[in-house]
Amino acid sequence: MSPITAVGVLPARWGSTRFPGKSLAPVAGKPLIVRVLERARMARRLREILVATDDERIRQAVERAGGRVVMTRPDHPSGTDRVAEAVSGMSDGIVANIQGDEPLIDPELIDRLVDVMASEPGWDMATAASPIAGEAEAAMPSVCKVVMGAGDRAVYFSRHPIPFVRDAAFRAAGTLRWRHIGIYLYRREFLDRLVAEPPCLLEKAECLEQLRALHMGARIKVLRTREAGSGVDEPGDIGRVEAIIRRQEGGAA
């Protein structure tokens, strides 16, 4: 039997609702999508990395950086649907959807998620989460929260602070709230089923595509990590990310 291989895909579109053209926004001297691509290339468990886009400007920027681009339809309802089109015809058993606005994504986390999917066949998907620092972060709609059950199986994702703490005197023994990190790994056959299913009401309400998978009964493993990364949701996030990159690169721009 051939070993299970994994391919990584970075979905990137021009028309971000909160930040049009975000993929090409300069971050410490490089387009955002190129920053993400460079981090993804550090992972050892991906056979190949693609950028899936419908925009010629993004294609040109990625190819100038030496990346491979797959042009996709402009009308996909989510990044997952774009990823599925990009890998159609490929034989990889695992597909990694690496969000194109996570320039500090941890390459080792990508590898750990691939290992989970390769070694534990009971999971349809895998993703990651890190502890939420406090109530202010928990209240931010741009921060997706996840609640896990037994075996760290995802129970629900929300933009609302979950779980709700009814008793003000309650003190949890460990971390109660977890921040969802923008990476998904799919078993290939489940990805094909997922994109054939129309968006459900919960997905439409929260604007969270992973809720479609839960609606279908998916078993989603949530890998706990201390490293949260730092995504770019709006223009004001760029300065914060650039400061981290400059620290990591020893002051280089």
Q: Grade residue 159 by pLDDT with cuts at 50, 70 and 90.
A: very high
**Predicted pLDDT at 173:** 67
CA distance 27 to 12: 16
Q: Has residue 1 got a pLDDT over 50?
A: no
Q: Grade residue 202 by pLDDT with cuts at 50, 70 and 90.
A: very high
**Predicted pLDDT at 232:** 81
Contact 109, 227 (CB under 8 A): yes
Average pLDDT over residues 51-77: 95
Neighbours of 244 (CB within 10 A): 14
H-only helix segments in the chain: 32-41, 56-64, 79-87, 107-119, 135-138, 188-196, 201-206, 210-215, 237-248
Average pLDDT over residues 95-99: 96
% of the chain exceeding 70 in pLDDT: 96
Average pLDDT over residues 97-111: 93
Q: Has residue 171 got a pLDDT over 80?
A: no
Average pLDDT over residues 137-144: 89
The two three-digit tokens of residue 38, written as one number? 């460079």
Mean pLDDT of the residues in the chain: 91
**Predicted pLDDT at 30:** 93
Most confident of 8-17, 158-167, 190-199: 190-199
Q: Has residue 252 got a pLDDT over 60?
A: no
Tell me which of 156 and 171 has the higher pLDDT: 156
**Predicted pLDDT at 175:** 81
